[in-house]
Structure 1
Amino acid sequence: MVSIAERHQQIIDKLQKEGKINVADLCAELNVSSVTIRKDLKLLEDKGLLFRTHGGATLNNPYTIDRSVNEKEKIQSSEKMQIGAKAATLLQPNDSILIASGTTVLALAKNIQPSGSLTVITSALNVALELLRHPEIEVLQLGGLLRKSSSSVTGPYAESILADFSFSKLFLGVDGIDLEFGLTTTNVMEAHLNRQMIKVSQKTVVLADSTKFGKRGFGRICGFDDIDQIITDKGISDYVVKALEGMGIKVTIV
């Protein structure tokens, strides 16, 4: 019979290999009850070896915190610029697009070199200011309650403006992507605005560096049925890529 110490080591080994584990799989592999596995996970969490999640555990803290846009811009900056450059190649002449908030979509704005006219509506002040240098781009800034930490607006006024438009693409930034919980942000009002953005867009493209995977923010934006494409960097695990592609999502890695 496998000892408790051996079982704990097997759990840690599997977690280090996969980055994330669930109770049902561990029960089947180790031939023990879910009660036993949950006790194991609690003991290992108390030792600082993992973080428990709904139905399993993860190697890294799955909960994101709200950081200022200036702080977030310094995290994975080169990866974000590569993601933004790739996203910019999706634009078509005479496109009408919607850009949400976040430092990764700001990287998209910095990489846009329009060929022909382009109409952009955005909730992010920094995105709008970045695009002002292009005379070919018509920029409409959404109004509403200004979130200082993200330099973007939220609220019912911004949502009501969106009802009058239809967009070919939405470029969406997120704070967390969890295979069970979906796409999230740290602010519930921003999550609600993002849902309205998805409704008025023909295609939703998520721009997210690899550190966002396995994370959860406070406000849930949507599930994976609402997403068409995710552009990320090579830090994403093969397991997550296969899971996303299995849901019909195009995953582009830069």
Structure 2
Amino acid sequence: MINLAERHQFILNKLKKEGNLNVVELCQELKVSSVTIRKDLKVLEDKNLLFRTHGGATLTNPYIVDRPVNEKEKVQSTEKLKIAAAAAGLVEDNDSVIIASGTTMQYLAKSLPPRMGLTVITSALNVALELLKYPTVEVMQLGGLLRKSSSSVTGTYAEQILADFFCSKLFLGVDGIDLDFGLTTTNAMEAQLNRQMIKVSQKTIVLCDSTKFGRRGFGKICGLEDIDHIITDSGVSEHVVKTLEGLGITVTIV
């Protein structure tokens, strides 16, 4: 049996490689009890070497706080532009799509071909304003309670409008993707609207940079089983990609 220091080093090395850890897997690999592993994780968290999560641990703080959209625009902007360009390539002429809220969604609106015939339903004011520049894009702006931090609307009115339509694709931005908990955002009402968007879409495509993995927001949108395609950047771990592909989700890395 390896000693305490060796066990801790094994845990940190595995975490650095995979980005996330599972208590059950660590028990099997190290041949110790779950009580021992949980104590190990607490010690390492107290030393600021990891963050404990439900059933495991992660390298990044899994708890997300809401930030204004103008702050979010400056974070991972290069990656978001590449992700948006890849997503724009999935839009077909005469498509009817939903573009949800978020800074990556605004980049997507900017990346669409200028002369494409398209119908877009959106909850995001910044997306709608971008699409005003496109003469052949018809925009349906959802109405409701304005959420200033994201420049988008939420609420039952927006959900009721969506119930009358069905679209080929939903482009969805999230604040967190956790392999166990699923997709989340920092606002519960936005999460509820996102769930309605998923219901009225044939395919759900998530656009998120790699910093969103292993994190959780306040409001759960859905489980991974409701997602068809994820577009992210090269910072995502190989372990996460294999897990997602094992669930039948297409993963595009830009």
Alpha-carbon distance between aligned partners in 1 of 2:165 and 2:79, rounded to the nearest angstrom? 31
Instruction: Report runs of 4+ in structure 1 exceeding 4 Å deviation.
Output: none
- Structure 2 gaps of 5+ residues are none
Partner of 1:246: 246
Deviates more, 1:177-186 or 1:1-10: 1-10
Q: Is the CA contact (8 Å cut-off) linking 1:93 and 1:114 kept in structure 2?
A: no
Partner of 2:72: 72
Match status 1:230 vs 2:230: yes
Partner of 2:59: 59
Alpha-carbon distance between aligned partners in 1 of 2:161 and 2:217, rounded to the nearest angstrom? 26
Match status 1:50 vs 2:26: no
Alpha-carbon distance between aligned partners in 1 of 2:177 and 2:148, rounded to the nearest angstrom? 23
Q: In structure 2, the residue corresponding to 1:197 is in which secondary structure?
A: helix
Q: Is the CA contact (8 Å cut-off) linking 1:93 and 1:115 kept in structure 2?
A: no
Q: Is the CA contact (8 Å cut-off) linking 1:96 and 1:120 kept in structure 2?
A: yes
Partner of 1:4: 4
1:12: how far off?
A: 1.4
Partner of 1:160: 160
Equivalent pairs counted in the alignment come to 254
- Give TM-score scaled by structure 1 length: 0.97
**CA pair 5-164 structure 1, distance change in 2 beyond 3 A:** same
1:208: how far off?
A: 0.5
1:55: how far off?
A: 0.6
Q: In structure 2, the residue corresponding to 1:127 is in which secondary structure?
A: helix
Match status 1:140 vs 2:140: yes
RMSD value over aligned CA atoms? 1.0
Matches within 5 A, 1:1-254: 1-254=1-254
| Residue identity opposite 1:12 in structure 2 | L
Percent identity for Structure 1 against Structure 2: 74
Alpha-carbon distance between aligned partners in 2 of 1:171 and 1:2, rounded to the nearest angstrom? 48
Alpha-carbon distance between aligned partners in 2 of 1:242 and 1:198, rounded to the nearest angstrom? 24
- Give TM-score scaled by structure 2 length: 0.97
Q: Is the CA contact (8 Å cut-off) linking 1:176 and 1:214 kept in structure 2?
A: yes
